[in-house]
Amino acid sequence: MKLCATRIAIIGAGKGGTALLDLLHQIPDVEIVGIADKDPTAPGLKRARDLNVLVAERVQDLIQNHGVNLIMDVTGAPSMEPLIHTLKRPGAEVLSGAATRLLWKLVQHQSKLEAELFQADKLAGLGSFAAGIAHDINNPLQLILGLAENLEEEQDLAVVHEQARDITQAVKRTSAICRDLTRYARRNGAGEEVMVNLNTKLDEALRIARYAVTLQDVTVVKRYAEDASVMGNPDELLHVFVNLITNAVQAIKDHGTLTLQTTVGPDGLVSASVSDTGCGIPKEAFSKIFEPLYTTKPPGKGTGLGLYNVMSVISKMDGHICVESDVGVGTTFRIEFPQVQPTISCAPL
């Protein structure tokens, strides 16, 4: 068993406990050994189960075992602190009262900042969509205008019918653009976790990335596994994929191949990867790519928040990102998602 420097027990699984859980479980060298709440329907308990964190029925069981060395009391109940002090093992520290309230405020502040950064990156991205959107809207408009002008004089009824149908199709195509974009631009709803089909999400992201980057000289290869679905926030995953696809296409200078792949392993592990045959990432940049504000793109082209946000979303989902890259050959970003449902394993007899 890996022994972590800080082994935390969280008491209270309301809003505060849930937020702490979400934040702390992303930090290396910190292990949340368990969480407890007298209310079995508290939201933090469900979240803990999703993250494979122990849910204890009794405070005593939690804080006296598992090598807990820090107890965080976010119940807000005045009676809890003395109780913890009576029950805890010697040497374990307790954070409660005003200290946890301050911590809770910091966590709230941090999550607000993250949401702002996420939105800022998306909106900055939308700016670069202008050329693509104009192209995709004005082309059908040209068709509609041309056909409508012709219809004013057209005598042949068959042609009239055909061109009216063409106009209807062109209008439908144009309205699909607006639907995709408004879905992409909206603020993410908090806690909207549902089953998300990764194949559909990758397709949707590809449609949106087309506005930011020209895909005309890029061959797109899709290798989708059936039923590649994960539990997550659909808007956040869409943004993750738009980011990875945009980066991949920008890495391809001239002609190249973009490969979108999903896999479902025999153990139920689901993965999604975006690969390009582009310029690759130099070894010395590897450690920096997920840092906020790190970018190699020219001014005005990249915010340096893209991969940082990708990492935040995936860490929050308890997922894992692997990057493989060779300069001049290409790059693969592979995201491994945690198992959603326990798999039924068939042991050989």
What residues line the site for another protein (CB under 8 A)? 130-131, 134-147, 149-150, 166, 170, 214, 216-217
- What are the residues whose beta carbons fall under 8 Å from the beta carbon of 158, sequence distance 6 or more? none
Q: By C-beta, is 27 or 145 nearer to another protein?
A: 145
Q: By C-beta, is 37 or 136 nearer to another protein?
A: 136
How many CB atoms sit inside 10 A of residue 16's CB?
Answer: 23
> Least separation, in Å, of the C-beta of 229 and another protein?
34
- The span from the CA of 89 to the CA of 71, in Å, is 10
Q: By C-beta, is 52 or 175 nearer to another protein?
A: 175
- The span from the CA of 348 to the CA of 59, in Å, is 41
Helices (H), 39-79: 43-50, 59-64
- The span from the CA of 290 to the CA of 112, in Å, is 19
> Least separation, in Å, of the C-beta of 214 and another protein?
7
> Least separation, in Å, of the C-beta of 157 and another protein?
17
What is the DSSP annotation of 150-218? HHTT---HHHHHHHHHHHHHHHHHHHHHHHHHHHHHSPPPTT--EEEEHHHHHHHHHHHHHHHS--TTE
3-class secondary-structure state, position 226: coil
- The span from the CA of 239 to the CA of 208, in Å, is 10
Cβ contact 272:244 at 8 Å: no
- The span from the CA of 317 to the CA of 44, in Å, is 15
Q: By C-beta, is 141 or 327 nearer to another protein?
A: 141
Q: By C-beta, is 115 or 171 nearer to another protein?
A: 171
Burial of 192 (0-12, 13-18, 19+ CB in 10 A): exposed
The tokens of 322 are what? 């692997």
> Least separation, in Å, of the C-beta of 217 and another protein?
5
Q: By C-beta, is 58 or 135 nearer to another protein?
A: 135
> Least separation, in Å, of the C-beta of 153 and another protein?
9
> Least separation, in Å, of the C-beta of 139 and another protein?
5
The tokens of 240 are what? 């993750």
> Least separation, in Å, of the C-beta of 186 and another protein?
25
**Side chain identity at residue 349, one-letter code:** L
What's the chain's Rg over C-alpha atoms? 25
3-class secondary-structure state, position 334: strand
> Least separation, in Å, of the C-beta of 196 and another protein?
32
Cβ contact 184:222 at 8 Å: no
Q: By C-beta, is 208 or 335 nearer to another protein?
A: 208
Cβ contact 277:257 at 8 Å: yes
Q: By C-beta, is 144 or 317 nearer to another protein?
A: 144
Q: By C-beta, is 29 or 254 nearer to another protein?
A: 254
**Side chain identity at residue 324, one-letter code:** E
> Least separation, in Å, of the C-beta of 171 and another protein?
13
